[in-house]
Amino acid sequence: MTPDYYLILAAVLFTIGAVGVLVRRNAIVVFMCVELMLNAANLTLVTFARINGSLDGQIMAFFVMVVAAAEVVIGLAIIMSIFRSRRSASVDDANLLKY
């Protein structure tokens, strides 16, 4: 099995994530779609590490996971606080700032 398929899978995952950000309303789901995009990038990194025969890409994937974990902490905190104030996690309800 050529590694190219992994690259294509990653591209598909990335696209699904990006489209998910556009079409989902729940802030948590939107955020999970972003996480999906990050993991698609991880998959690409690991695949290229395999193709290039170097470990760099795999190590980078670990870095990305750590950063993504930190991002989750921040993100959930923000989403929680806005949910408590508004009783809604829909991103379409947060619409006071415009024009």
Partner 1 sequence: MDSITYAPATGALSSMWLLVAIPALSATVLLLLGRRADKWGHWLGVASVLASFVLGVTYFLQLRGIDGTGNKSLSVDLFEFIHIGDLNVSVGLLFDPLTAVFVLLITGVGFLIHLYAVGYMSHDPGRRRFFAYFNLFVAAMLLLVLGDNYVMLYAGWEGVGLASYLLISFWSDRPAAATAGKKAFLINRVGDVGFALAIFLMFATFGTTNYADVFNGVLASEAGQTVSAGVLLAMGLLLLLGACGKSGQFPLQTWLPDAMEGPTPVSALIHAATMVTAGVYMIARSQVIFNANETAQTVVVSIGALTLLIGCVIGCAKDGIKRVLAYSTVSQIGYMFLAVGLGGGAYALGIIHLLAHGFFKAGLFLGAGSVMHGMKDQEDIRRFGGLWKYMRITWATFGLGYLAIIGIPPLSGFFTKDPIILAAFNREGWTGWLFGSAALLGAGLTAFYMTRLFVLTFHGRPRWQKEGEGGAHAASATDAHGAHADAHGAAIARTEDGRDIQHPHESPWIMTVPLMLLAVGSVAAGWLMSTSVVDWLTPVFGEHEEGHAHLTHTQVTIATVAVTVLGVALGYLLFRGGTSLVEQPARTHLVRAARNNLYADRFNELVFELPGRLLTRALVWVDNRGVDGIVNGLAAAFGGGSGRLRRLQTGYVRTYALSILSGAFLIVAALLAVRLG
Partner 2 sequence: MNDIQLPAIDYAALLPMLIVFGAACVGILVEAFAPRGWRFVIQVSLTIGGLVAGLVAIIVNRDLEITTIGGAVTVDGPGLFLQGAIIILGIVSLGLIAERRLERGGPFVAEAAHAANSDGDKRQEREPGATEVFPLTLFAIAGMMLFCVSGDLLTMFVALEVFSLPLYLLCGLARRRRLISQEAALKYFLLGAFASAFFLYGVALLYGYAGTVSLTGIREGVLQSEQSGILLAAGLALLAIGLLFKAAAVPFHVWTPDVYQGAPTPVTALMAACTKAAAFGGLLRVFNVAFETTAWDWQPVLATVAILTMVVGSILAVAQTDIKRLLAYSSVANAGYLLVGVVSLNGAVGSSLFYLIAYGFSVLGAFAMVTLVRDSEGEATHLSRWAGLGKGSPLFSALFTFLMLGFAGIPLTSGFTSKFALFSSAWDSDQSVLVIVGVLSSVVLAFPYLKVVVLLWLNPPGEETPTVSVPSMLTRAVIFAGVAVTFVLGVAPSFLLDIVADAGPFLAK
- Name the site residues for partner 1 (rule: CB under 8 A): 18, 21-23, 25, 30, 91-92, 94-99
In terms of CB distance, is 12 or 65 closer to partner 1?
12
- Dihedral pair phi/psi, residue 97, rounded to 5°: -95, 115
CA distances to 39, 40, 90, 98 from 16, in Å: 12, 10, 20, 28
Residue 56 site contact among partner 2, partner 1, none (CB < 5 to 8 Å, cut-off depends on kind): partner 2
Distance of alpha carbon 74 from alpha carbon 59, whole angstroms: 23
- Name the strand (E) or helix (H) holding 52: helix 27-52
Neighbour tally for 9: CB within 10 Å? 14
CB 90 to partner 2: min, Å: 11
Distance of alpha carbon 39 from alpha carbon 51, whole angstroms: 18
If one asks whether residue 77 binds partner 2 (CB under 8 A), the answer comes out as yes
If one asks whether residue 94 binds partner 2 (CB under 8 A), the answer comes out as yes
The binding site for partner 2 (CB under 8 A) comprises 7, 10, 14, 17-18, 21, 27, 30-31, 34, 37-38, 40-42, 44-45, 47-48, 51-52, 54-57, 60, 63-64, 67, 70-71, 74-75, 77-79, 81-82, 84-86, 91, 94-98
